Amino acid sequence: MLEGMLAMTSRSAGATMALGAVTLLTLASGAPALAAQQADEATVSVLHAVPGLTVDVYAGDKELLPDFAPGTLTDPLKLAAGSYDIKVFKDGEGPGGTPAIEKTVEVPAGANATLVAHLTADGKPALDAFVNDTSKVPAGKARLTVRHVAAAPAVDVRADGKAVFKGLENPKEAKGEVAAGTVSADVVLAGTDTVAVGPATLDLAEGSNTIVYAWGSAADKNLALKTQTLTGMHSAPSGVPAGETGQAAPVNDAAQIGALSAGALVTLGAAAVLLRRRTDAG
């Protein structure tokens, strides 16, 4: 009877190992498909920077953002890469009316981007797409990005009273790496000390990209700043394992499950060997 039980146990272990192998192979074959799907997506945020106008935002005939108020920045969204026909209507006038802004926007695969509805330098509604820089930032540094999307002439951007970006025009951006820390930022008319907007306190965290938008209208005296912060761009210290820094790299679910299945398979294999040895010894 004992031999029969051991034989049954060995067969059960063998079946379980086979099932585990099939599961592992299935997960392994599915992981590239999951990675490919993620690679074909983009992370997109939307900023409404047209003062005094609540809008509805459409992609083609599909409403994406109803009752979108000025100064609002959405949370990041996952969208399939490709071309989008973006239409911005005055609240309640879409999709049958005439859009206040309409533009075809290209969303690159794998990119982190921000769509900005704003005013041109001469006060006309416009829509622009900015690709956000998510590359690594040196240790102890932060990335500062400034985007001019206001109805205003060229400006200089100052940090703690010192001009860090000069002659920035709508709808351009400027960026650079600076020491991490807290700074007081303001925007002045290019080549002058005439403050157009600010000051504002910025917390430039290490390994982050702080994006500052100057938006609004100089003529209407409603210029303002809007801040967007992207994190997770730390550069790992040389020679230190990621697990020791507390900044372990993320692992996708399929890879985690596959690793667990592999571990279970090894354990089952060891159990089967042990059972065979006991059977032989009996």
What are the pLDDT tens digits along the chain (282 aa)? 434 433 444 444 444 444 444 333 343 444 444 444 556 899 999 999 999 999 999 998 899 999 999 999 999 999 899 999 999 999 999 888 999 999 999 988 999 999 999 999 999 999 999 999 999 999 999 999 999 999 999 999 999 999 999 999 999 999 999 999 999 999 999 999 999 999 999 999 999 999 999 999 999 999 999 999 999 998 766 433 333 323 333 333 333 333 333 333 333 333 333 333 333 445
CATH number of 137-234: 2.60.40
pLDDT value, residue 37: 52
Q: Which CATH architecture has domain 40-131?
A: Sandwich (2.60)
* pLDDT of 236: 66
Beta-carbon count within 10 A of 4 CB: 8
- Beta bridge partners, 186, equal 158
Per-residue burial over 69-81, b if 16 or more Cβ lie within 10 Å, else e, is ebeebbebeeeeb
In the block, tokens 């994406």 appear at 64
Strand partners, 58: 63, 87
Give the predicted TM-score (pTM) of the model. Answer: 0.71
Give the chain's count of helices (H) and strands (E).
Answer: 3, 16
Residue-level pLDDT at 235: 79
Residue 267: C-alpha distances to residues 13, 52, 254 (Å) = 11, 65, 20
Q: Helix or strand or coil: residue 173?
A: strand
- Residues in the chain, how many? 282
Which pLDDT score is estimated for 187? 96
- 181 in Cβ contact with 204 (< 8 Å): yes
As given in the structure block, the two tokens for residue 103 are: 């533009």
Peptide bond into 171 cis (omega under 30): yes
